């Protein structure tokens, strides 16, 4: 029988004395028993006598005499006995025998190696994938959102009296031209961020081969023109496409390919097949329902508006709710398009006196509620936001203030079940209040600032608008405060 091989690690809380005593004890006892033993010490001097991967691999058993948390991953699959450092000093011989006879294999599901419990982390999980996508998307959301916000502020052209008369860029001036271009830059970011998100969600599920299908598929799902729809699918469609692409590729990976083509499977075969299938799926399966949904919603809104013209509160609530639902997705777009269409149609038919302001006023009142609600929640309920989330929440404030709803997307994608109801409720309150209290939104910016940057006719100047929007924001923030989970 060959010599038994034992490796060990010792570490105590101070890293001064017991670490070395335990190592010395184990070494002495091991040698006395005729074993091959090597003990790594992790003390305040640093790591000494470090175990190599080969030594760990060759060892019959691993003894950890440690009182602090050490990196356990390199011992996965080995038989490991974990004890306190003092036990190795007290009775090293017995400890070595116990390890050789009883040490359980570390890293198997639910095994306990001494004090450190290690359940195998569930591979995958809906939120883990979503979070992976969000972490890659956030820098782009922030950069492009803020650029868009800056340009947006500049787009409100005022007359001599300081009233906003037009929204647009006067490209005959240098600043107007620059801002117009910056606005486009921000839009490019928003165009890219959703496919980027989907790509990394799919990457988290099935690795690099899934990125192509998810990004291309999501791009198409958000390109209204390609789909023949009025609006793209927004981030909800992105989640759908990303998971479809991810699990498709994961499935394709399981096919036993002939050895000869194996090298090209991940770089050519999987991306090609999955992109083809996903694109066709998006074009022919998702595209039509999206167009029909838009039609259906639009029809529904028209009917509602005609039947309840006398009840602006109802229309305002419904329109507001739609704006907060998918933050730039098809439902949001339907509400926006409808609001503008009703306004321009009625102005054309009946003049400004007879125009129907309700849907447009409601959409604009609701448009900033989701991002501002997130921001307010992050101020009121600090403990429920991680440092990264706080940064996102602050940039959501900037975007919300200039009416960019998309600032709330990272939060909605991360936790749709809790966030979307909060956004919908707050947006509905804002829409209902603004319309119900009789505010009339002519033009400008859809946020509390709109009352200064824009032209809104309201029963009590400034106050009605700010009150309506901020009440919605407060509702959203409070709901988030109650439902959002505490940060671990």
Partner 1 sequence: MVTSILDIQHITFDSSVTTKDEALQFIADFAKEKEIVKSAKAYYKGLKKREQEVTTGFKSSIAIPHCKHKTVKKPALMLVKFANPIEWESMDHQPVHMTFALAIPEGENQEHLTLLSTISRALIDETFTKSIIEAATAEELHATIQNKLLAQSD
42 near partner 1, rule: CB under 8 A: no
140 near partner 1, rule: CB under 8 A: no
Query: Of 207, 202, 189, which Cα lies nearest the Cα of 151?
Result: 189
From candidates 6, 9, 11, 19, binder to partner 1 by CB under 8 A? 19
28 near partner 1, rule: CB under 8 A: yes
In this chain, which stretch among 18-26, 51-59, 107-115, 302-310 interacts with partner 1, using CB under 8 A? Answer: 18-26
* b/e code 30-46 from CB counts within 10 Å (16+ = b): beeeebbbbbbbbbeee
In this chain, which stretch among 9-17, 166-174, 355-363, 478-486 interacts with partner 1, using CB under 8 A? Answer: 9-17
Quickly count: other Cβ atoms within 10 Å of residue 345's Cβ. 12
14 near partner 1, rule: CB under 8 A: yes
d(CA 315, CA 361): 10
311 near partner 1, rule: CB under 8 A: no
Residues 117/371, Cβ–Cβ less than 8 Å:
no
25 near partner 1, rule: CB under 8 A: yes
Residues 6+ apart with CB under 8 A from 319: 301, 335, 338, 339, 358, 359, 362, 363, 366, 431, 435
40 near partner 1, rule: CB under 8 A: no
44 near partner 1, rule: CB under 8 A: yes
Q: Write down the least CB distance from residue 128 to partner 1, Å.
A: 36
43 near partner 1, rule: CB under 8 A: yes
Query: Of 188, 200, 197, 199, which Cα lies nearest the Cα of 144?
Result: 188
Residues 6+ apart with CB under 8 A from 355: 343, 346, 347
114 near partner 1, rule: CB under 8 A: no
The question of whether 178 is a catalytic residue gets the answer no
d(CA 349, CA 342): 10
16 near partner 1, rule: CB under 8 A: yes
Q: Which is nearer to partner 1, 42 or 334 (CB)?
A: 42
Residues 427/320, Cβ–Cβ less than 8 Å:
yes
Q: Write down the least CB distance from residue 25 to partner 1, Å.
A: 5
Residues 31/95, Cβ–Cβ less than 8 Å:
no
Q: What is the size of the binding site for partner 1 (CB under 8 A)?
A: 22
From candidates 6, 7, 12, 433, binder to partner 1 by CB under 8 A? 12
From candidates 8, 41, 204, 270, binder to partner 1 by CB under 8 A? 41
50 near partner 1, rule: CB under 8 A: no
Question: DSSP character for 258?
Answer: -
In this chain, which stretch among 23-31, 108-116, 303-311, 382-390 interacts with partner 1, using CB under 8 A? Answer: 23-31
17 near partner 1, rule: CB under 8 A: yes
Residues 6+ apart with CB under 8 A from 265: 209, 253, 257
Q: Write down the least CB distance from residue 21 to partner 1, Å.
A: 5
Among 6, 7, 9, 12, which one carries the catalytic annotation?
A: 12
Helices (H), 259-368: 270-281, 287-307, 312-326, 330-354, 358-366
Q: Which is nearer to partner 1, 49 or 184 (CB)?
A: 49
Q: Write down the least CB distance from residue 18 to partner 1, Å.
A: 7
Residues 6+ apart with CB under 8 A from 469: 365, 368, 369, 372, 430, 434, 447, 448, 450
Tokens 């991680």 belong to: 386
In this chain, which stretch among 12-20, 199-207, 260-268, 370-378 interacts with partner 1, using CB under 8 A? Answer: 12-20
Q: Write down the least CB distance from residue 29 to partner 1, Å.
A: 9
95 near partner 1, rule: CB under 8 A: no
> SS in 3 state form for 151-216?
HHHHCEEECCCCCEEEECCCCCCHHHHHHHHHHHHHHHHHHHHHHHHHHHHHHHHHCHHHHHHHHH
Tokens 């600043």 belong to: 175
From candidates 6, 7, 8, 20, binder to partner 1 by CB under 8 A? 20
Residues 221/232, Cβ–Cβ less than 8 Å:
yes
Q: Write down the least CB distance from residue 87 to partner 1, Å.
A: 9
98 near partner 1, rule: CB under 8 A: no
Binding mask 55-94 for partner 1 (x = CB under 8 A): ------------x----------------x-x--xx----
Q: Which residues are catalytic?
A: 12
Residues contributing to the site for partner 1 (CB under 8 A): 12-14, 16-21, 23-25, 28, 41, 43-45, 67, 84, 86, 89-90
């Amino acid at each position: 029988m060959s010599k038994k091989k034992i490796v060990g690690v010792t570490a105590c809380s101070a890293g001064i004395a017991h670490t070395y005593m335990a190592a010395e004890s184990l070494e002495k006892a091991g040698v006395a028993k005729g074993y091959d033993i090597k003990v790594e010490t992790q003390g305040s001097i640093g790591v000494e006598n470090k175990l190599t991967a080969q030594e760990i691999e060759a060892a019959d058993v691993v003894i950890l005499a440690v009182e602090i948390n050490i990196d356990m991953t390199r011992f996965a699959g080995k038989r490991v006995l974990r004890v306190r450092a003092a036990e190795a000093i007290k009775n090293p011989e017995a400890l070595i025998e116990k390890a050789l006879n009883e040490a359980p294999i570390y890293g198997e599901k639910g095994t306990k190696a001494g004090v450190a419990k290690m359940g195998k982390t569930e591979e995958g999980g809906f939120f883990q994938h979503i979070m992976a996508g969000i972490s890659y998307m956030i820098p782009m959301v922030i950069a492009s959102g803020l650029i868009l916000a800056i340009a947006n502020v500049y787009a409100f052209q005022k007359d001599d009296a300081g009233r906003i008369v037009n929204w647009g860029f006067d490209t005959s001036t240098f600043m107007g031209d620059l801002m117009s271009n910056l606005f486009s830059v921000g839009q490019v970011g928003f165009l890219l961020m959703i496919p980027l998100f989907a790509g990394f969600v799919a990457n988290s599920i099935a690795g690099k081969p899934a990125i192509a299908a998810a990004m291309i598929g999501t791009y198409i799902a958000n390109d209204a023109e390609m789909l023949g729809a009025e609006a793209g699918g927004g981030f909800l469609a992105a989640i759908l496409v990303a998971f479809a692409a991810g699990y498709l590729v994961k499935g394709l990976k399981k096919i036993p390919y002939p050895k000869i083509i194996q090298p090209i499977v991940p770089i050519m075969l999987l991306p090609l097949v999955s992109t083809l299938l996903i694109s066709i799926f998006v074009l022919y399966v998702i595209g039509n329902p999206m167009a029909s949904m838009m039609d259906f919603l639009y029809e529904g809104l028209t009917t509602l508006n005609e039947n309840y013209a006398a009840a602006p509160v109802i229309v305002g609530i419904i329109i507001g709710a739609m704006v907060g639902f998918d933050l730039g997705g098809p439902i949001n777009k339907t509400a926006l398009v409808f609001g503008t269409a009703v306004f321009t149609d009625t102005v054309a038919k009946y003049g400004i006196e007879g125009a129907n302001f309700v849907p447009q006023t409601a959409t604009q009142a609701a448009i900033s509620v989701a991002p501002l609600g997130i921001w307010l929640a992050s101020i009121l309920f600090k403990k429920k936001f991680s440092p990264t989330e706080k940064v996102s929440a602050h940039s959501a404030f900037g975007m919300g203030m200039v009416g960019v709803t998309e600032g709330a997307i990272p939060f909605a994608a991360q936790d749709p079940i809790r966030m979307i109801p909060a956004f919908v409720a707050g947006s509905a309150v804002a829409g209902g209040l603004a319309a119900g209290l009789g505010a009339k939104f002519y033009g400008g910016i859809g946020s509390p600032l709109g009352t200064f940057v824009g032209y809104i006719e309201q029963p009590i100047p400034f106050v009605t608008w700010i009150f309506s929007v901020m009440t919605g924001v407060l509702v959203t923030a409070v709901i988030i405060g109650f439902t959002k989970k505490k940060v671990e």
